[in-house]
Amino acid sequence: MVSKEEKPKLIRDDGLRHDGRRPDELRPIKMQVGVLKNANGSALVEYGKTRVLAAVYGPREPQPKHISLPYRAILRCRYHMAPFSTHERKSPAPTRREIELSKVIREALEPIVISEMFPRASIDIYIEVLNADGGTRTTSITAASLALADAGIPVRDLVTGVAVGKVDGVIVLDIDEVEDMYGEADMPVAAAPSLGKITLLQLNGVLTPGEFEEALDLAMRGIQEIYKIQREVLKTKYLKVKVEE
Amino acid sequence: MSITPSSDYIIPKLKAETIVSLIKKGVRASGRGLEDFRELGIVTNYIPNADGSAFVKLGNTQVIAGVKLELGTPYPDTPNEGAIVVSAEFVPTASPLFEPGPPDENAIELARVIDRSLREIKAIDLGKLVLIPGKRVWVVWIDIYVLDHDGNLIDASSIATLAALLTARVPKAEVEGEEIRVDKSEYTGPLPMNRKVVTVTIGKIDKIMLVDPDIEEETVLDTKLVIAVSDDERIAGLQKSGMGALDKNEVLKMTELAMKKGKEIIEVVEKSIETSTREASAEQATRKLREDSEDTGMKGENEEETSQ
């Protein structure tokens, strides 16, 4: 691991970031849906070098049955990092971080799934981080929401995630691993863009109330941009299905 | 794997409806105002064998935070800093819903939220906890023990953690070359602190915000936002916790309210530590007088209690 004393310059003299992006610029984003044959819905999403696969199974009977709820479907969510996804091999056993992230990701998706339509059922969301380069939880949420839509599960909106941060005193959009490691703050945000509802909000780092408001605004703008791509990908898939008919 | 909870705390529907309709009128079932914390009692030095400790009673929620300093190796990316480890146990004494076993996602979330609130702002001056640079440092183990659950575990734990850290002391350690001799019967001084941080949890129901939700209120909340507030009035961490959603203006209103309440809570913690330190030294002085005159030979550690 690199020592903290060897902190690279995160904002260059020309005002651009270490990878040449403007402060309010996203990494190149790629999305695909229906990438798995067996899952009811799936998606592969890339934010720069961060690559996440999400699969949805269900609604189906939960195992064990007694965990079901009589008035709605339960959501089961696992966020997991593949052993080869990090610089040093990560043990496949779940870490405390992965347990916490599984919870906050589930809680970010709960508000949009119309779970009352499937009492006693389970909707299972499996997220695999294939390559980690910062922003894995927010990429995961974008992917999981696409996979839910791809599975045909009724949702109120999509959920879109992006992490903003403060690096060398500047509030920047879609931080990568280097910016996360050496920056002053990392703030993952996810929202249902059409509903204008924030469903995930975390902050690791320190911000003044003014910086926080600026960061939240920047995140919401980034979310709208990513949301457009999400909708486009889903639309393209269903147009193709129509043509095939 | 995280699963939609199916065995949450249950209250009668009628009661839930009453709580909600009262909140909408701006009052709470307990008679508290929407921005009022429950009664807060803090006892520092509660655990004689810990290097710092605090027992906190927030309404009927009871939490102990214990701080222990042990020798350890630094993290490879911070060779010249001590380390912090925060863990939380939801003890089965605390609730019919808590089972013995490894920490569940709620306990892990609580510990990690408190860990983050201290880490990035450098609440503890870890640079002063180095014994042999790059090799041996003090590891600050913060263990949070939830004894009785009546809601708002995160804030109660955060207050206990702050009180325990502010009263914690660094054991005496003698470094001779590569050898370190620790003598826990003597202390070199207080744990070096840079900042004071507490979390303030704001619950939301409809458009209404309330602080310090009790367990019954927690069952009716749409969602809550945990905001870590520092004594220099910055936001030291955030965590939306719970299933619901918030809009931007609600988030901004919540952080604003949290900044105000956080400042108040930090003052309460400071004051209660001051009082208990004063009482402890008064106690010590009386004991010494008594011992000098009677020479009873009786000795005992004393705990000092203060209330808001």
* Mean pLDDT computed over B201-217: 95
Q: Do B4 and A187 touch (CB under 8 A)?
A: no
Q: Do B116 and A204 touch (CB under 8 A)?
A: yes
In tens, the pLDDT along B161-191 reads 999 999 999 999 999 888 899 988 899 999 9
Q: Which residues of B touch A209 (CB under 8 A)?
A: 233-235, 255-256, 259
pLDDT of residue A244: 67
Asked if residue A3 is part of any domain, the answer here is no
3-class DSSP string for chain A: CCCHHHCCCCECCCCCECCCCCCCCCCCEEEEECCCCCCCEEEEEEECCEEEEEEEEEEECCCCHHHCECCECEEEEEEEECCCCCCCCCCCCCCHHHHHHHHHHHHHHCCCECHHHCCCCEEEEEEEEEECCCCHHHHHHHHHHHHHHHCCCCECCCCEEEEEEEECCEEEECCCHHHHHHCCEEEEEEEECCCCEEEEEEEEEEECHHHHHHHHHHHHHHHHHHHHHHHHHHHHHHHHHHHHC
In tens, the pLDDT along A139-174 reads 999 999 999 999 999 999 999 999 999 999 999 999
- Best of B110, B234, B238 to disrupt the A interface (most A CBs within 10 Å) is B238
Number of domains in chain B: 1
Selection from B92, B67, B65 nearest residue B82 by Cα: B67
Confidence band (pLDDT; 50, 70, 90) for A2? very low
Across the interface, of A1, A76, A110, the residue whose CB is closest to B243 is A110
B178 touches A: beta carbon within 8 Å: no
B247 touches A: beta carbon within 8 Å: yes
pLDDT of residue A245: 63
B108 touches A: beta carbon within 8 Å: yes
* Mean pLDDT computed over A47-66: 95
Top-ranked range on mean pLDDT: pick from B28-32, B102-106, B177-181: B102-106
Q: Which residues of A touch B101 (CB under 8 A)?
A: none
Confidence band (pLDDT; 50, 70, 90) for B303? very low
Looking at the complex, report in whole angstroms how far the Cα of residue B93 sits from the nearest Cα belonging to chain A: 23
* Mean pLDDT computed over B191-197: 97
Tokens encoding B51:
């290097």
- Best of A204, A211, A220 to disrupt the B interface (most B CBs within 10 Å) is A204
DSSP-assigned letter for residue B302? -
Q: Which residues of A touch B2 (CB under 8 A)?
A: 76-78, 99, 102-103, 105-106
Q: Do A103 and B235 touch (CB under 8 A)?
A: no
Asked if residue A120 is part of any domain, the answer here is yes
Selection from A150, A56, A38, A174 nearest residue A105 by Cα: A56
Asked if residue A123 is part of any domain, the answer here is yes
Residue B237 sits at φ, ψ, to 5 deg, of 165, 155
Looking at the complex, report in whole angstroms how far the Cα of residue B73 sits from the nearest Cα belonging to chain A: 15
Asked if residue B30 is part of any domain, the answer here is yes
List C-alpha distances in Å: B290 to A151, B277, B284, B287, B297.
78, 20, 10, 5, 10
Number of domains in chain A: 1
Asked if residue B303 is part of any domain, the answer here is no
Place of tokens 């914390």: B37
pLDDT of residue B306: 47
Domain range for A137 is 22-244
Q: How far is Cα B184 from Cα B174, in angstroms, rounded to an integer?
A: 11
Across the interface, of B108, B246, B259, the residue whose CB is closest to A99 is B108
Instruction: Mean pLDDT check: name the lowest of A34-38, A207-211, B14-18, B150-154.
Output: B14-18
Asked if residue B123 is part of any domain, the answer here is yes
Asked if residue B299 is part of any domain, the answer here is no
Q: Closest residue of B to A183, CA-based?
A: B120
Q: Do B245 and A69 touch (CB under 8 A)?
A: no
State the first-to-last Cα distance of chain B, in angstroms, to the nearest integer: 41
Q: Closest residue of A to B233, CA-based?
A: A208
State the first-to-last Cα distance of chain A, in angstroms, to the nearest integer: 54
Q: Which residues of B touch A197 (CB under 8 A)?
A: 245-247
Q: How far is Cα B62 from Cα B132, in angstroms, rounded to an integer?
A: 38
Q: What are B273-278's contacts with CB under 8 Å, separation 24+?
A: B273/B42, B273/B44, B273/B163, B273/B166, B273/B167, B275/B304, B275/B306, B276/B42, B276/B43, B276/B44, B276/B45, B276/B304, B276/B305, B276/B306, B277/B167, B277/B304
Across the interface, of B77, B233, B251, the residue whose CB is closest to A3 is B77
Instruction: Tell me what ipTM this predicted complex has.
Output: 0.93
Asked if residue A162 is part of any domain, the answer here is yes
* Mean pLDDT computed over B239-267: 97
Q: Higher confidence at residue A207 or residue B8? A: A207
B2 touches A: beta carbon within 8 Å: yes
Per-chain mean pLDDT for chain B: 92
pLDDT of residue B280: 77
pLDDT of residue A240: 80
CATH of the domain at A144: 3.30.230.70
pLDDT of residue B48: 94
Asked if residue A6 is part of any domain, the answer here is no
CB atoms within 10 A of CB B215: 17
Q: How far is Cα B273 from Cα B162, in angstroms, rounded to an integer?
A: 10
Asked if residue A12 is part of any domain, the answer here is no
Asked if residue B2 is part of any domain, the answer here is no
Q: Do B251 and A216 touch (CB under 8 A)?
A: yes
- Best of A206, A207, A208, A220 to disrupt the B interface (most B CBs within 10 Å) is A206
pLDDT of residue A5: 56
Strands (DSSP E) found in B91-194: 130-132, 136-148, 169-176, 179-190
Confidence band (pLDDT; 50, 70, 90) for B284? confident
CATH of the domain at B170: 3.30.230.70
Asked if residue B8 is part of any domain, the answer here is no
Burial of A231 from C-beta contacts in 10 A (0-12 / 13-18 / 19+): middle
Q: Higher confidence at residue A243 or residue B64? A: B64
- Secondary structure of residue B291 in the 3-state scheme: helix
Report strand pairing: B136-148 vs B83-90. Answer: parallel
Per-chain mean pLDDT for chain A: 95
pLDDT of residue B300: 46
Asked if residue B297 is part of any domain, the answer here is no
pLDDT of residue B301: 47
pLDDT above 70 for B106: yes
Looking at the complex, report in whole angstroms how far the Cα of residue A132 sits from the nearest Cα belonging to chain B: 19
Before B190, cis peptide (omega within 30)? no
Domain range for B99 is 13-292
Burial of A244 from C-beta contacts in 10 A (0-12 / 13-18 / 19+): exposed
